[in-house]
Every structure is written in C-alpha cells, then in structure tokens.
Structure 1
Amino acid sequence: MLSRLAEEFPQPTPRRADAPKALDGIRIIDFTHFIAGPFATMLLADMGADVIKVEAPGRGDEYRYYPPAHPTDASVGAPYVWANRNKRSIALDLKSEDGRRIALDLIRTADVVTENFSTGVMERLGLGYETCRDVNPKLIYCSVSAYGREGEFSDRLGFDPIVQAESGFVSMNGYPDREGVRALSPVMDISTAMMASNAILCALMARERTGKGQAVEVCLFDNAVLMTGYATAQHLFTGDNPQRHGNTSPDTCPSGVFQASDKAFYINCGNNKIFHRLAEQVLDMPELAADPVLADRNGRIARRKELFDILHNAFARHPWTYWRERMRAASIPCGEVRTVGETLRSAEARERGLVTRIEHPALGWLPNISLPFRFSETPLCNPTPAPLIGEQSREIMRSVLGYGDEKIERMVASGAAYSCNDSPQRAVSAT
C-alpha cells in the first residue's frame, strides 16, 4: 500500500520561505508517549516549536509498535507516524546519572516540559516539577494524567476506552436494544491533546505578562466528562440519563442515516426551516411541511417512526447523486456514509489538501494527514517525518547543549545516550 502513495497523493504545498512561524523560538522537551501527550506536542511542533522527544534507548516510545508497522522497520508504525511529525528524538537512559544530567541540561534551555508518565515517575527520576522549576524558573511544566496528580485516584492508570466507559460516554452511544459502544477513534486522547496544547499556549501567554512559569495539568478523565457534551447539563436539569439513539438524534428530527437506491447518506435537519426546504424543494412533498404536527420539531420527534418510513421510501427511488444535488441546492446538511479510505480519497479531502506524502530519508514515502487549521501569516511548518529512536541524539547534544564531540561520544559509549545513526536502523520485533 505504501508503494502507491506517490501515485495517489501529492507532496504538501510548501510554506512561504519568508513566512514566520507562530511558535518559532519555543523549545519543548517532550517526555510523553502513546497518544494524548505526543499529539499535543505535535500540534505545537506543526506551529513551529522545537519539540525534542526524549525516549528510552532501544525500544523507545511503545506507541511506535502499534500496527501496522512499516514493512522494513517495526519501530515505525502508522499510528506513531500520525502523532509525531516535526519532532526531533534523543534517546536517554533516564535511570543513569549521566542520562538525567543530559535531560536537566535540556530542560535548562526549554520553555516547556511535557510528560504523561504514571504519577510519581518523573519525581523518582529526579525530573519532577519542583526540580525542573529550580533549574529553570520560567518553565511551563505540563503533566497529562489519567485521574489527576493528587488525591485518591492519582495512582490509577488510564487509557482512552477506560475513560470513555467511566465518563458515561459509552452509555450514550449505540442502539437502545443493546449495550453501549465505545468510539473506535481515540477521541478522548485526541481531545485531551487539544486541551493540553491550549493550556500550554495559555501558560506561555501568561508568562509573557507575568514573567513566571507554572505547572499545568490536564486530566484524561476530566476531559472525557467534558466530551459527553451538553448531556451533563441536561442531566443536571432533569435527573434523566441520556438514552442511546443509534444514528438518530434525540433533539432534532429528521436526523439520521437514509438509503438512496445505491448508497447510504446522513441528513440532519437541525431546525424547522431546513425540514421545510427538505420537504418542499428536495422531496416535492409540500404536504409534509404543511402538516401542523410535522411542521414543528417536537411534533416530528413524536412521530419519528412515521416520518422516517416516509423518507426511507422516498429516498430509495433515486441514487445518491440525484439527492446530493437537490439537497445541496436546497442547503440541506447532508453527506454520504463513507469508509475511512473513501474519505481520504474524496473530493473534499483533496480540495483541502488533507492527505499528502512526505519523503523519509531511509524509508521512502510516508503518509501525512494535515491539521485542520490554516494561518494566513504564520503557516504551519513543512511536515517532516516522525523521527527514528534517537535519530537526532548527537545533533541535539551538539547544537542545543553545546557538548563537544568527545563528551558526546562518551555519553553514547556509556549508554546514557543512544543514537540510531551508529548503525543502520534495525527492524525491532513488534511483540
């Protein structure tokens, strides 16, 4: 499949050479792994921050081995590539005195430190907030935790599907006649990453005004509760728990999946005006809009089954292309139900330049999925591939820390630091 990237997807459009970067000059020392932490720092790297990913020698970030792996290097898995663009990697043995010393030297140069280890790990390594603040008083220190760094639950491990379940999110999704279902996409990790990156940016802005660094914490569980949306407020108004509605909406009607003669599509009539346009301009059924009950949202919700039967029968008479054009002309929010592959190759994705290919110096072409925002004056960085384990170890010690060649080689020889450039990158077992 990777061999077809050059045939299917273009290289990214390069940014203007004279354009500034939004976070140029900001350095982040990144001790995070898996998804929420690394995706947060990738957002900032795309904006121009110098993100130095600190990994353990040998295996590195365990997320590297989530499948599918690159056919020639098991440490370059597709999920890892997706979450670690535009970073540099240094591999350090943080359990060794020299490894910790290198890490603290890096922190002295940094604006931000990020970490998402289990509670207490950074302190045991001698890299907790107080220690880092002592060596760099203006430091922003961002911890991404599962259930908070203090309190009764601070020792709990947490992953995306666990907090989906515990937040109530799973209970809201699926069909009413069966158990709730998790979202396959790691929505809690991704949204936690967005919260973390926002929190870091806010702390950097505050430092500009006050001159002071601070500790920042973002909690996976806290974020998951927020991600249940306004269902929390609805429950506190009524005491009722949300019920599962499948692809329909408890708040609007008609909203759901319908079947044209050739494929499925989704429509969402979020207000009465949209429904009236659907009835009159798309379906040529003005009697639906004129019905005193169906004309109102609450009436449509009460007669949902009757209305859906009418719509299913009507939509089945023509193909999706027929309905798509009529609904677009009538400004009806709608879209075909696609697979991920169909989405990546869709006209909309191509128009937005969302999927590109970037060249890797050792592995050929790698896929690239763009972020969903654009800047007119400070465009995002040209994408560079996620680094190999310790790919820039020597470069970072030399250019960032000012170590001489003799000291660098001593650190590598002792095992305090590791560089993948010492020998060809080996494929590592993913098991």
Structure 2
Amino acid sequence: MDAENYFDWTEKLFDPENVFAKPEALKGIRVLELCTRVFGPVTADLLADLGAEVIKIELPGVGDLMRYVAPRGFFYKNISPAFTHMNHNKYHVAIDIRKPKGAELLKQLVARSDVLVENFRPGTMDRWGVGYRQLKEVNPRLVYQANSGFGQWSAYRDRPSYDATSQAMSGFSATTGFPGRPPLKIGIWIGDYTGALFATLGILAALYARNKTGSGQMIDVSQGESLIRIQDWTWLLWSLFGKERRRVGNVDVAMVPSGVFRAKDGFVAVSAVDDGSFQGLCDAMEADDFRDDEELESLSGRLQDENREKIYERLSRWVAACTVRQVEEAGRRYGFSAQRVASARDHYEDEHLRFRKAVWEFEDPLYGPVVEYGPGPKLSETPGRMRWIAKPVGFHNDHVFRNLLGLDPETIRVLTDEGIVGTWADRIGAKPPDDWDGHRGRVF
C-alpha cells in the first residue's frame, strides 16, 4: 500500500464530517464538577469533550468566578470567552452545597455518578461535610479528583495558587526568558492546562482500576507538581552535574538549531536537529562552509558553545533576509522544519485546522454560530465532539433535578425559596443573552 493510499484511508477512517454518527468514548460516565477558575473546569471539560455527562455545580447567583474574567473586557451575548472555552458540553446547575439541604442534594447526585472533580482549597469540601471521606460512604465506586496548587497535604497545602504561582514554583519561569533578563511568565495558563491533563489521566486510570477492583479512589493533583513533571532534563542537569538550566531566549540549547527567528514580515520557527535536515538547511542558506565543517556534522559538535553561537548567528541573518513564506517553502524543499508563528486569526482561517475539526464551527442552541477549538485527541471509532458551549448559572436545573433526581416542581420551588438552589444573577457573565426568549437552548 503506497503513501497516498494510506492518507486517503486515514481521512476516511477519521472522517470529520461523520463524527456524530459514531458513539462517544466516555458515554455513560457521569462527572460532577465543583470547580472555579481554570484548573478544575478544564479537567471536566476534557472529559466532556470525549462524551462524559458533566454536571457543573455552581453557587446560585454569581456562579463560577471565571464567568467575570473577560479578555480585554469583552463579553459575547453576556458570556465571557474565557469561560466558554473550558465549559463545553456541560449541564449547569446551581446548588449551595454549604447548606445541609444542598449537601444532601449533592449526595443524591454522587450516588448516581462516577467521578467528582473539585479544586477548592484543600480540606474545604471535607469541612462542608462533602469531602471524599464522607462521599465514599455514599458511593464506594466514586473517583474523587482533588485539584489544588500544592497538593492536599504537606507544608505548602494552605497556600493559594494561580497559574503564575505554579510557573514560579515549578521552575518554569526560571528557565523562560532571555539571558541577563528577568524570568518570564508564559502567556497562556499552562499550569492550569497541564495540571488538568494530568488530572484527566488520573481519572481515566482510576476508572480503569475500578473495573478490576470495584472500588473508587481519591486522586490528588498539584498544579505546580504537574509543571515540574514536564521539566524534561532540568532536574537531571542539577542532580548529575550541579548546574542550573539557563534562560536562553527563543532558541534551544539541547537541540541545535531550533528556535524562533524574525523574518522580513513576521516570525518563523526553524528546526534542523538531525544531521540530514541540518545539511538541508545549509543548502538552503548556501552555507558551504557549514556543510563542509566536520565539527558541525553531528549534533554533539553543533552543541558546543562556539559552534552553537555561530550557527544561530548565521541562521538569524538568513531568516531576516527572507519572508516567512520563503523560509517555509525552503523547509519543504530542503527537508528541515519551518513554520510561521501563527496568530488566532491564522487559526481561525486555517482550512487544515477547520477540516480536522481542531477549529470547530457549530451552532450553539442558545448563542447561535460559534467557533471553538475542538477536542485534542482524534479517536477513529469514538471521536470527541463539540455540542454546546457554557450556559448561564443554573440553566439546566430543571433537567437535572427532575429527570435525574426525580424532584417535583413544588419541591424545586421550595428549595429555590430557601436559597438551596437557584439560577443566575442579573449580571453580565451569569445571565442569558439579552434577547433570550425563556425557552431557546433549554433541555427538558
């Protein structure tokens, strides 16, 4: 079978236009999310992408405080873009679990669920009487995911943490930046998203273990420790040689050449790490002296300080004389890696990403046409999918309370009057679009 046939075969196998005709990998798994901000909601979001039924439980009224974090103050139809992208496919209910009747409602949901995700300060849920110690008595099969900045026990457990905190604690900031300049914070919330990936991995492992043992368990994931886990060779450099990893700016000191460089009309990443691709780069730059230099024939030679510096100096000058497109085309012609530094607009307009549903345009039942990033892993037989984006506080109360818990309308009314359950406050970030008719997007 030749290469072209393989690509045709994989395109048909994954067929992005046939996603909704296939089953979902995590269908039948019910997840309760009691989270705020980013770390916890993203964990549940990743599970929802793959078909888990996620019920997001917020406090009545204002709900998750992330609802009010709006990039540059922008809200779309009363919802924050920062909130929508981590709350796909979720059912939104509002319960005050701090009150006894609210805690009892939560326990009723726990009895019918597989996973609970929370990211309160360590010990908070336990203090409210709904921590793992109490909930495992309600449902011994429960997988309880506890996300926090520094872990559920030991000296740092009570410290508050945000993404910048985790980047500092983990050493990420120490290795990010330019020589002689202060440490830098990476632009995205990498601590939250990396922690969420490890939490999701832990949940899937615990569900698999439950199939064998019949019992659930508690999982403790630290935001900072998750970033430490992906610090590649940083620790080894210290433990074996007593040396700290240096900040080196936009280039790599372990894989040479590899970095981001300024072209005439933008920036482009160039990597030519293996010997063959480096020779191709030399041909593209017409650098005969490099191609014939025995010291540069192997990666070990190119890693030497003097050689590394002269390679990066020559490469920077060559890229600066080219357009981004010229560098990309040279990469394809000569066999080295070259890719423009993409913007959000580039992603939005990229036909490759849209065809693969990495950028997913769909019709939300409440907000209308939206464009979101799609699920990361592409599963051929049980693919993930985007069904809807985040909803107002308590938007699915009736669906969950009536259909799942069997509560009658009068009971729901009494609980609402007592402040045990509720919906949104009249506030941008919490409420529906101004033109909402009271029915559009509801699930009954």
Number of the residue aligned with 1:284: 286
Once superposed, what is the RMSD of the aligned Cα atoms?
Answer: 2.1
Aligned residue among 403, 408, 415 for 2:407:
403
Give the stretch that moved more between structures: 335-344 or 186-195. 335-344
Question: In structure 1, how many angstroms separate the alpha carbons of the residues matched to 2:19 and 2:116?
Answer: 29
After the TM superposition, which residues 103-114 of structure 1 pair with which residues of structure 2 at under 5 Å, given as runs?
103-114=106-117
Number of the residue aligned with 2:273: 270
1:243 offset after TM fit, Å? 0.3
Number of equivalences: 412
1:308 and 2:312 correspond: yes
Question: In structure 1, how many angstroms separate the alpha carbons of the residues matched to 2:222 and 2:113?
Answer: 23
Number of the residue aligned with 2:370: 366
Number of the residue aligned with 2:152: 149
- 2:262·2:268 contact (CA, 8 Å) conserved in 1? yes
Partner secondary structure for residue 57 of structure 2:
strand
Question: In structure 2, how many angstroms separate the alpha carbons of the residues matched to 1:14 and 1:416?
Answer: 43
- 2:262·2:319 contact (CA, 8 Å) conserved in 1? yes
Aligned residue among 189, 203, 206 for 1:203:
206
Question: In structure 1, how many angstroms separate the alpha carbons of the residues matched to 2:287 and 2:429?
Answer: 61
Partner secondary structure for residue 41 of structure 2:
helix
Residue identity opposite 2:372 in structure 1 = N
After the TM superposition, which residues 384-395 of structure 1 pair with which residues of structure 2 at under 5 Å, given as runs?
384-395=388-399
Question: In structure 1, how many angstroms separate the alpha carbons of the residues matched to 2:336 and 2:223?
Answer: 36
Number of the residue aligned with 1:6: none
Number of the residue aligned with 2:427: 427
Partner secondary structure for residue 223 of structure 1:
helix
Question: In structure 2, how many angstroms separate the alpha carbons of the residues matched to 1:87 and 1:417?
Answer: 18
Question: In structure 2, how many angstroms separate the alpha carbons of the residues matched to 1:251 and 1:337?
Answer: 21
Deviations 1:319-373 (A, max 9, x none): 3323322211222111112333333333443343322333344433333111221
Question: In structure 1, how many angstroms separate the alpha carbons of the residues matched to 2:345 and 2:221?
Answer: 33
Number of the residue aligned with 1:377: 381
Aligned residue among 79, 89, 93 for 2:92:
89
In the alignment, structure 1 segments of 5+ residues that lack a partner are: 1-11
Aligned residue among 103, 117, 120 for 2:123:
120
- 2:365·2:388 contact (CA, 8 Å) conserved in 1? no
Question: In structure 2, how many angstroms separate the alpha carbons of the residues matched to 1:362 and 1:327?
Answer: 45
Percent of pairs identical after alignment? Answer: 28
- 2:275·2:298 contact (CA, 8 Å) conserved in 1? yes
Q: 1:231 to 1:344 in 2, by over 3 A?
A: farther
Q: 1:350 to 1:98 in 2, by over 3 A?
A: same
Q: 1:111 to 1:291 in 2, by over 3 A?
A: same
Deviations 1:196-230 (A, max 9, x none): 01100100000001111111111112112113222
Number of the residue aligned with 1:241: 244
Residue identity opposite 2:253 in structure 1 = P
- 1:169·1:227 contact (CA, 8 Å) conserved in 2? no
Residue identity opposite 1:330 in structure 2 = Y
- 2:354·2:360 contact (CA, 8 Å) conserved in 1? no
Q: TM-score, normalised by structure 2?
A: 0.87
Question: In structure 1, how many angstroms separate the alpha carbons of the residues matched to 2:243 and 2:384?
Answer: 44
Residue identity opposite 1:70 in structure 2 = F
Question: In structure 2, how many angstroms separate the alpha carbons of the residues matched to 1:16 and 1:362?
Answer: 22
Q: 1:230 to 1:308 in 2, by over 3 A?
A: closer
Partner secondary structure for residue 180 of structure 1:
coil
Residue identity opposite 2:75 in structure 1 = H
- 2:360·2:386 contact (CA, 8 Å) conserved in 1? no
1:266 offset after TM fit, Å? 1.6
- 2:250·2:259 contact (CA, 8 Å) conserved in 1? yes
Aligned residue among 284, 297, 300 for 2:299:
297
1:251 and 2:254 correspond: yes
Residue identity opposite 1:219 in structure 2 = S
Give the stretch that moved more between structures: 352-361 or 87-96. 352-361
Q: 1:429 to 1:204 in 2, by over 3 A?
A: closer
- 2:35·2:41 contact (CA, 8 Å) conserved in 1? yes
Q: 1:17 to 1:346 in 2, by over 3 A?
A: closer
Give the stretch that moved more between structures: 17-26 or 349-358. 349-358
Aligned residue among 168, 182, 185 for 1:182:
185
Partner secondary structure for residue 362 of structure 2:
strand
1:44 and 2:47 correspond: yes
Partner secondary structure for residue 296 of structure 2:
coil
Number of the residue aligned with 2:231: 228
- 1:358·1:385 contact (CA, 8 Å) conserved in 2? no
1:380 offset after TM fit, Å? 1.1
Deviations 1:406-429 (A, max 9, x none): 222222222211135xxxx73337
Residue identity opposite 1:414 in structure 2 = E
Question: In structure 1, how many angstroms separate the alpha carbons of the residues matched to 2:397 and 2:17?
Answer: 27
Partner secondary structure for residue 335 of structure 2:
coil
1:346 and 2:350 correspond: yes
Number of the residue aligned with 1:330: 334
Question: In structure 1, how many angstroms separate the alpha carbons of the residues matched to 2:113 and 2:194?
Answer: 25
Number of the residue aligned with 1:357: 361
Partner secondary structure for residue 418 of structure 1:
coil
1:70 and 2:78 correspond: no
1:289 offset after TM fit, Å? 1.2
- 1:394·1:419 contact (CA, 8 Å) conserved in 2? no
Deviations 1:62-119 (A, max 9, x none): 011111442441xx21111010000001101122222111111111101111111011
Q: TM-score, normalised by structure 1?
A: 0.90
Question: In structure 1, how many angstroms separate the alpha carbons of the residues matched to 2:376 and 2:429?
Answer: 34
Q: 1:95 to 1:311 in 2, by over 3 A?
A: closer
- 2:32·2:116 contact (CA, 8 Å) conserved in 1? yes
Question: In structure 2, how many angstroms separate the alpha carbons of the residues matched to 1:20 and 1:338?
Answer: 33
Residue identity opposite 1:321 in structure 2 = R
